[in-house]
Amino acid sequence: MGIILWIIFGGLVGWIASMIMKTDAQQGIILNIIVGIVGATIGGWVMSMLGKSGVGSFNLYSFLVALLGAVILLWIVKMLRR
């Protein structure tokens, strides 16, 4: 059941991040899931650099950390595509 929750969590985070960064039209559901999961990893890394905890469970704090990481990921991808 855990992997299914991570896929749903990643898809939701990736979708919201793509709407924030205005890349939703370019992404499908699979890319949203990948962006959300990789974004959670990046967000956890950034928060650990700041001395805070990363994504640990399914709660609002973890959602915001993952969203931060996903937005950072999409921002980097947009910069590289220019």
Residue 9 has pLDDT above 80, yes or no: yes
In this predicted structure, the answer to whether residue 55 has a pLDDT above a threshold of 80 is no
Percent of the chain with pLDDT over 90: 35
The identity of residue 8, as a single letter, is I
Mean pLDDT of the chain: 87
Return the structure tokens found at 28: 């499908």
The answer on pLDDT for 75 being more than 90 is: yes
Task: Give residue 25's pLDDT band: very low, low, confident or very high (50, 70, 90).
Answer: confident
